[in-house]
Structures are given as C-alpha cells and as structure tokens.
Structure 1
C-alpha cells in the first residue's frame, strides 16, 4: 500500500500518462504504481474510459464564424502579451 501523498502525486501524473506526455522513466514509475495500487488503477481506468467516450462523441466541427472569432481573439491576446 502506498501513502496518500504518493497517490496524489501519481494521480496528476496519470493524466500525463494517458496523454503520452511522460518520459520513459516516468512511464515506468506510473506503471509500477498502477500495478501496486488498486485505487489509482481504478482512477486510471475511469479517466481512460471518460477520455475515450469524449473522443468518440466529439465529431462536430465548429462553425467557420466561430473559428474565425477565436483566431481573432487569440491574435489580440498575443498582441497584448507582446506589448507588455
């Protein structure tokens, strides 16, 4: 059994693990922890299931007018940030 503190650390890393954003050493650490910790494995399974459901459900494309407004706002934010 692992401590709550180490589980809390791994719960954050599980999100990165699911998104393939960890280096090989961290991947190995997360896998070992998941093999040893049933609550974290359940959390991992839940997050993986939710992520898969969202991916299957999100086939809509934003209207071009919305996409253009978002591009304009991003450009405005970039200009404000570079002026600061």
Structure 2
C-alpha cells in the first residue's frame, strides 16, 4: 500500500510508506512511543501521498467521533453485557 514516492528513503533506512501506513492508526490514537511518533511524523512531512492518506484517516476518525455521541439505553447495555458474560462463561467452560 506504499505510495512509491520515496524509493530513496527505503535505500537509506528510513521508514517506508507501507510501514507508515500500517501504523498510521496507532499514530492517530497516540499509541506509539516517542521514537516511533518522530519517525512517522518525519516521513509524513516528506511524503505527500502518505500525508494525504493520514489526513483522510484523521478526518474520518474525527467525523466518526463527532457522530458517535449517542449512549445506549441502560436496559440495552445491561442485556448486551449479560450476553457477553454468558458467552465468556461458555468459552471458559469449553
């Protein structure tokens, strides 16, 4: 899924596009250590196609977050949690 724009980066040991795009969701969610964040940010600063993909993913994530503000009614939440516990019990017994 690489952009192919930075073959020279691949030869010099920098993160290639496919690696960046594989980790972009972790980067968006702040789930990477500082060194990985720095590496990905540097790649995004230098690679227009990867930056465009990152911007698209960030926009979609933002829209979904704004759209998902509803809370399930208590009765529904309790039924779902009960079902989850029942499945867990069955799995643990097997």
Q: TM-score, normalised by structure 1?
A: 0.84
Aligned to 1:42: 52
**Over alpha carbons, which structure has the higher Rg?**
2
Runs of 4+ in 1 over 3 A off after TM superposition: none
Partner of 2:13: none
Residue 12 of structure 2 corresponds to residue 2 of structure 1: no
Q: Which has the higher helix share?
A: 1
- The two structures have a TM-score, normalised by structure 2, of 0.77
Number of aligned positions between the proteins: 83
How big is the alpha-carbon RMSD for the aligned residues of Structure 1 and Structure 2?
1.8
The runs of 5 or more residues in structure 2 that have no matched partner are 11-15
